[in-house]
Amino acid sequence: MFNVIAQRLQQGFRTSAYPKTEPQLPDRFRGLPIVDATKCPDGCQICADACPTNAMLTGDGTLRVDMGRCLFCVECATACPAGAVSYSQEYRLASRTREGLITDGRGFELAQALEGTTRRLFGRSLKLRQVSAGGCNGCEADVNVLSTVVFDLARFGIQFVASPRHADGLLITGPVTENMRFALEQTYEATPAPKIVIAVGACAISGGPYIDLEQTHNGADSVVPVDLYIPGCPPHPWTILDGLLRLLGRLEEGSLERPAPAAAGK
């Protein structure tokens, strides 16, 4: 017993000071995609052809990235001979709209807070029912880690509950397989109104690597309305937490928008 107490004292305070301080991210972290169309004047399709989920959008003559489809696999950056695509260390990626996940490298509008009555209801206490709608367990694992001592999700008044009847909303992962479609619909109906829905990960947003397969439904918003999209494959826990806090209006208003940062080295 004394050894356990001694080790715990030696470990010190383990919970992050976020959002008062910026989180520490590993060098290999892949955040907001950065595109530089000036390095691709002839509009070649090399990066688009390399993307496994067609996340690179070049049809209108501009180079953009659909983060809702992006797997952050860097195949586009590796294939591009001009270095027009790279990935930054920007972990703040959540958006209130599906269209908001499309970036051209000149900036990125972060998620805005809930409006009016809904924000007053959920801003200080939010109970979520997590639904794995056919996920690979990658997003599920990063959602679960939010309850550990480092992130301590409960200190923000956010908790996961066992029943949708006790929940204020749903947090959905996975591409919504045909076998999970009915279960998701029933879970949504069992959640009392007003309620919110959060789609976490490329699969839950667009179908991810399973997009357009007949066994899947290309994400949560094909079945239920979605209030917050958190991209990634899987999203980092800091990305998920940042999105949740922005939705609840728990972060400073001045930090809601931020220009695209300089790209991190490969």
- 264 has a pLDDT exceeding 80: no
Asked if the model's pLDDT at residue 69 lies above 50, the reply is yes
pLDDT at position 254, please? 38
Residue 210 lies in a domain: yes
Question: Which residues span the domain enclosing 158?
Answer: 116-258
Which pLDDT score is estimated for 12? 64
Q: Is residue 185 part of a domain?
A: yes
Using the predicted structure, report yes or no on whether residue 253 has a pLDDT greater than 60: no
Does 235 map to a domain?
yes
At residue 44, the pLDDT reads 80
pLDDT tens digits for range 208-252: 999 999 999 999 999 999 999 999 999 999 999 999 999 999 885
The pLDDT value given to residue 8: 64
Name 59's Cβ contacts closer than 8 Å, sequence gap at least 6: none
pLDDT tens digits, one per residue of 123-163:
889 999 999 999 999 999 999 999 999 999 999 999 999 99
Domain count, the chain: 1
DSSP for the chain, written as a single string = -HHHHHHHHHH---S--TTSSPPP--TT---SEEE-GGG-TT---HHHHH-TT--EE-TTSS-EEETTT-----HHHHH-TT--EEE-S-----BSSSGGGEE-SS-EEPPPPPPHHHHHHHSS-EEEEEEESS--SHHHHHHHGGGSTTT-GGGGTEEE-S-GGG-SEEEEES--BHHHHHHHHHHHHHSPSS-EEEEESHHHHH-GGGTT-TTB-SSGGGTS--SEEE--SSPPHHHHHHHHHHHTT-S-GGGSEEPPPPPPP-
Q: Is residue 21 part of a domain?
A: no
Q: Give the pLDDT mean for 98-120.
A: 88
Most confident of 8-17, 43-52, 69-78: 69-78
What does pTM read for this prediction?
0.90
In whole angstroms, how large is the CA radius of gyration of the chain?
A: 19
Whether 238 is in a domain gets the answer yes
Instruction: Please give the distance of CA 95 from its chain centroid, rounded to a whole number.
Output: 8
Dihedral (CA of 196, 202, 206, 207) sign: negative
* CATH number where 141 lies: 3.40.50.12280
Question: Is residue 263 pLDDT above 50, yes or no?
Answer: no
Burial 38-56 (b: 16+ CB within 10 A, else e): eebeeeeebbbebbebebb
Residue 178 domain-assigned? Answer: yes
Do residues 251 and 245 touch, judged by C-beta distance below 8 A? yes
Is 92 domain-assigned? no
- Indicate whether 71 belongs to any domain: no
